[in-house]
Amino acid sequence: MTMAKALTRKIIAVDLVLQGATFGEGGNTKTYEGLACDVTIQKCGLPANNSCVIDISNIKQVDIERITTLSPVKLDMKRNIVEVRAWAEGESPSRVFVGEIFLAFGTYPGPDLGVHIEVLTGLYPSLIVSKPFTFEGAVSWQKIVQEAVSEMEGYTFSNKGVPDMSLRDPVINGSPMEKIKEIGRQLNFQVICDDMQIITLPWDKGMGNAITVNASTGMVKHPELNPNGIRLNHDYRPYFRQGGLIQVESIVPGASGVWKILKLTHMLQSFGAGDAWDTAIEGIRVNA
């Protein structure tokens, strides 16, 4: 942990949107901010869903009753959406995660009520019952993906450099999410489902300009190299994202250079839950 990080108060806000239910004060939206909050976010990429585990203290019993979700595999369960924002005092709030509640229940460790929430991005698009997509002749892969995304309420699609290619007489089965993953497998490009956005990009390319990462920017100790790429720890920054690029500067032989982020793990705590404000990054080497 850097000294600047340790001396700055951290704030986490959790926004909830309920479907088919209201909170005790009325309305289906509510923000929890300024409470003891512990958040672990894992963005590991498909086929796994990006996930977020949230523990909040000092929650009203009536809110716990509204939020509780114990049957995540049911296709008819309500689609409750969670957005997590995080920032240091004096900075602007930044969105860290958006997804759908997979599991939620009350916790009663002491005098204060709490809630434990597990959230997944891409949960509902993976559960939707969708008719097979059938096309005659050549059809652009983007047309197929756009059609699948149109069935995923609240999700958007962005292509980051995958060239236009066609499939001939394709028949694509499964949920909308499964259809998109299948197109990526057939044409060998990366599919990212992050914060309710479907992003496609070439495996050997990244998004945007490379962000410099070194000891002065908040990198903790030294990066580690392994057969799959690089792993390093850094103070949390909102601009790290899956598919983005980092320019590592390190004395570790082989570590300096441009890497594409494949996996992010954010560990954030605020207001008495702890002082974690960290990100673990895993990436692969790419040509700048």
Residue 20: which pLDDT band, with cuts at 50, 70 and 90? confident
Q: What percent of the chain has pLDDT over 70?
A: 93
pTM more than 0.85: yes
d(CA 12, CA 95): 10
In the chain, the domains with their CATH numbers are: 3-125 (no CATH), 129-201 (3.55.50.30)
For residues 196 and 100, the answer to whether their CB atoms sit within 8 Å is no
Q: What is the separation of C-alpha 39 from the centre of its chain, rounded to a whole number of angstroms?
A: 12
Q: What is the model's pLDDT at position 287?
A: 75
* 189 CB-near residues (< 8 Å, 6+ apart): 162, 200, 201, 202, 203
For 236, the token pair is: 């949390």
For 100, the token pair is: 């759908």
Query: Residue 249: pLDDT above 90?
Result: yes
For residues 42 and 99, the answer to whether their CB atoms sit within 8 Å is no
Look up residue 69 and give its DSSP letter. Answer: B
Q: If DSSP codes are grouped into helix, strand and coil, which group holds residue 37? A: strand
pLDDT digits (tens, 9 = 90+) for 34-45: 899 999 999 998
Q: What is the model's pLDDT at position 74?
A: 52
**Please, what is the average pLDDT of the chain?**
91
Residue 3: which pLDDT band, with cuts at 50, 70 and 90? very low
pLDDT digits (tens, 9 = 90+) for 61-106: 888 988 888 765 554 556 889 999 999 998 999 999 999 998 999 9
Query: Residue 24: pLDDT above 80?
Result: no
pLDDT digits (tens, 9 = 90+) for 159-195: 999 999 999 999 999 999 999 999 999 999 999 999 9
pLDDT digits (tens, 9 = 90+) for 201-236: 999 999 999 999 999 999 999 999 999 899 999 999
Q: What is the model's pLDDT at position 47?
A: 86
Q: If DSSP codes are grouped into helix, strand and coil, which group holds residue 216? A: coil
Between 26 and 164, the more confident residue is: 164
- Mean pLDDT calculated for residue range 2-25: 79
For 57, the token pair is: 């203290």
- Mean pLDDT calculated for residue range 49-70: 91
pLDDT digits (tens, 9 = 90+) for 115-155: 999 999 998 888 888 999 999 999 999 999 999 999 999 99
Which segments of 12-85 does DSSP mark as H helices, in order? 61-67
Q: Which residues of 160-193 are buried (b: 16+ CB within 10 A; e: fewer)?
A: bebeeeebeebebebbbbbbbbbbbeeeebbbbb
